[in-house]
Amino acid sequence: MGSFAWLLQWPVRALILLLVAKLPVGMQMASFPVALLSAIVIGLLGTLLIVPLKLLLGPVWFVSSLGGLISPVSFLFNWLITIVLFGLAAWLIDGFRLQNGLVSAILGGLAYSILSSVVLRFIGLEIPLTRAMGAAAGLG
Protein backbone atom coordinates (compact mmCIF):
# COMPACT_ATOMS: atom_id res chain seq x y z
CA MET A 1 0.00 0.00 0.00
CA GLY A 2 3.09 2.27 0.03
CA SER A 3 2.58 4.22 -3.21
CA PHE A 4 -1.19 4.22 -2.84
CA ALA A 5 -0.93 5.53 0.73
CA TRP A 6 1.38 8.26 -0.52
CA LEU A 7 -1.28 9.37 -3.03
CA LEU A 8 -4.02 9.23 -0.40
CA GLN A 9 -1.97 11.45 1.89
CA TRP A 10 -2.04 14.49 -0.40
CA PRO A 11 -5.76 15.31 -0.08
CA VAL A 12 -5.61 14.58 3.66
CA ARG A 13 -2.61 16.89 4.03
CA ALA A 14 -4.43 19.53 1.97
CA LEU A 15 -7.35 19.37 4.40
CA ILE A 16 -4.88 19.68 7.29
CA LEU A 17 -3.37 22.76 5.61
CA LEU A 18 -6.86 24.28 5.41
CA LEU A 19 -7.38 23.48 9.10
CA VAL A 20 -4.04 25.06 10.05
CA ALA A 21 -5.03 28.16 8.04
CA LYS A 22 -8.08 28.49 10.33
CA LEU A 23 -5.85 28.52 13.43
CA PRO A 24 -4.39 31.84 14.65
CA VAL A 25 -0.90 31.12 13.28
CA GLY A 26 -0.84 33.76 10.54
CA MET A 27 -1.25 31.42 7.58
CA GLN A 28 -3.71 31.96 4.74
CA MET A 29 -4.84 29.33 2.27
CA ALA A 30 -7.10 30.56 -0.54
CA SER A 31 -8.93 27.33 -1.37
CA PHE A 32 -8.79 23.53 -1.40
CA PRO A 33 -7.11 23.42 -4.84
CA VAL A 34 -4.41 25.78 -3.52
CA ALA A 35 -4.05 23.60 -0.41
CA LEU A 36 -3.78 20.48 -2.58
CA LEU A 37 -1.13 22.12 -4.76
CA SER A 38 0.68 23.26 -1.61
CA ALA A 39 0.71 19.74 -0.16
CA ILE A 40 2.11 18.42 -3.45
CA VAL A 41 4.74 21.17 -3.67
CA ILE A 42 5.81 20.64 -0.04
CA GLY A 43 6.28 16.93 -0.77
CA LEU A 44 8.13 17.52 -4.03
CA LEU A 45 10.38 20.19 -2.52
CA GLY A 46 11.25 17.84 0.30
CA THR A 47 12.13 15.14 -2.21
CA LEU A 48 14.32 17.52 -4.22
CA LEU A 49 16.03 18.93 -1.14
CA ILE A 50 16.88 15.61 0.52
CA VAL A 51 20.60 15.72 -0.22
CA PRO A 52 21.21 19.38 0.70
CA LEU A 53 19.16 19.06 3.89
CA LYS A 54 20.97 15.87 4.92
CA LEU A 55 24.35 17.46 4.24
CA LEU A 56 23.43 20.67 6.03
CA LEU A 57 21.55 19.32 9.03
CA GLY A 58 22.93 15.80 9.44
CA PRO A 59 26.20 16.59 11.24
CA VAL A 60 24.58 19.20 13.49
CA TRP A 61 21.72 16.80 14.30
CA PHE A 62 24.12 13.96 15.07
CA VAL A 63 26.20 16.01 17.51
CA SER A 64 23.30 17.83 19.20
CA SER A 65 21.17 14.69 19.66
CA LEU A 66 24.10 12.48 20.66
CA GLY A 67 23.49 10.29 17.63
CA GLY A 68 19.72 10.18 18.09
CA LEU A 69 19.67 9.49 21.81
CA ILE A 70 17.85 12.75 22.56
CA SER A 71 14.45 12.49 20.83
CA PRO A 72 13.32 16.13 21.25
CA VAL A 73 16.31 17.23 19.19
CA SER A 74 15.20 14.95 16.36
CA PHE A 75 11.71 16.48 16.55
CA LEU A 76 13.24 19.96 16.31
CA PHE A 77 15.17 19.02 13.17
CA ASN A 78 12.03 17.56 11.57
CA TRP A 79 10.22 20.76 12.48
CA LEU A 80 13.02 22.86 10.97
CA ILE A 81 12.68 20.96 7.70
CA THR A 82 8.92 21.58 7.74
CA ILE A 83 9.50 25.31 8.33
CA VAL A 84 11.86 25.50 5.35
CA LEU A 85 9.39 23.60 3.14
CA PHE A 86 6.49 25.77 4.33
CA GLY A 87 8.37 28.97 3.53
CA LEU A 88 9.40 27.78 0.08
CA ALA A 89 5.90 26.58 -0.79
CA ALA A 90 4.34 29.87 0.36
CA TRP A 91 6.87 31.77 -1.73
CA LEU A 92 6.11 29.67 -4.83
CA ILE A 93 2.32 29.33 -4.63
CA ASP A 94 -0.11 32.17 -5.16
CA GLY A 95 -2.86 31.79 -2.57
CA PHE A 96 -0.64 30.31 0.17
CA ARG A 97 0.50 33.17 2.36
CA LEU A 98 2.45 33.42 5.59
CA GLN A 99 1.21 36.73 7.02
CA ASN A 100 3.92 37.09 9.65
CA GLY A 101 6.78 35.55 7.69
CA LEU A 102 9.06 33.33 9.76
CA VAL A 103 6.77 33.40 12.81
CA SER A 104 3.89 32.08 10.71
CA ALA A 105 6.15 29.43 9.17
CA ILE A 106 7.28 28.31 12.64
CA LEU A 107 3.78 28.18 14.15
CA GLY A 108 2.18 26.79 11.00
CA GLY A 109 4.91 24.17 10.62
CA LEU A 110 4.44 23.05 14.22
CA ALA A 111 0.66 22.83 13.90
CA TYR A 112 0.93 21.08 10.53
CA SER A 113 3.47 18.56 11.82
CA ILE A 114 1.46 17.67 14.89
CA LEU A 115 -1.92 17.50 13.14
CA SER A 116 -0.51 15.52 10.20
CA SER A 117 1.12 13.02 12.50
CA VAL A 118 -2.01 12.52 14.61
CA VAL A 119 -4.52 12.40 11.73
CA LEU A 120 -2.44 10.18 9.45
CA ARG A 121 -1.62 7.79 12.28
CA PHE A 122 -5.32 7.66 13.23
CA ILE A 123 -6.44 6.78 9.69
CA GLY A 124 -3.50 4.42 9.10
CA LEU A 125 -1.72 6.41 6.39
CA GLU A 126 1.31 7.51 8.38
CA ILE A 127 4.41 7.64 6.22
CA PRO A 128 6.91 10.51 6.13
CA LEU A 129 5.75 13.74 4.47
CA THR A 130 8.82 13.77 2.29
CA ARG A 131 11.87 11.69 1.72
CA ALA A 132 13.83 14.44 3.44
CA MET A 133 11.70 14.14 6.55
CA GLY A 134 11.96 10.38 6.32
CA ALA A 135 15.73 10.64 6.15
CA ALA A 136 15.79 13.01 9.12
CA ALA A 137 13.43 10.74 11.07
CA GLY A 138 15.56 7.76 10.09
CA LEU A 139 18.54 9.51 11.61
CA GLY A 140 16.64 9.89 14.87
Q: Which residues pair with 98 in a beta bridge?
A: 27
3-state secondary structure of 109: helix
In this prediction, residue 137 carries a pLDDT of 46
- DSSP H/E element including 97: strand 96-98
Evaluate if pTM is beyond 0.85: no
In this prediction, residue 93 carries a pLDDT of 95
Q: If we measure between CA atoms, which residue out of 35, 66, 59 comes closest to residue 136?
A: 59
Torsion sign over Cα 86, 107, 95, 124: positive
Along the 140 residues of the chain, how does pLDDT read in single tens digits? 556 766 788 899 999 999 999 999 999 999 999 999 999 998 888 888 867 877 787 777 777 767 666 666 667 777 788 888 889 999 999 999 999 999 999 999 889 888 988 898 888 876 654 443 444 444 44
In this prediction, residue 68 carries a pLDDT of 61
Rounded-to-integer distance, Cα 131 and Cα 43, Å: 8
The answer to whether 21 and 83 have CB atoms below 8 angstroms apart is no
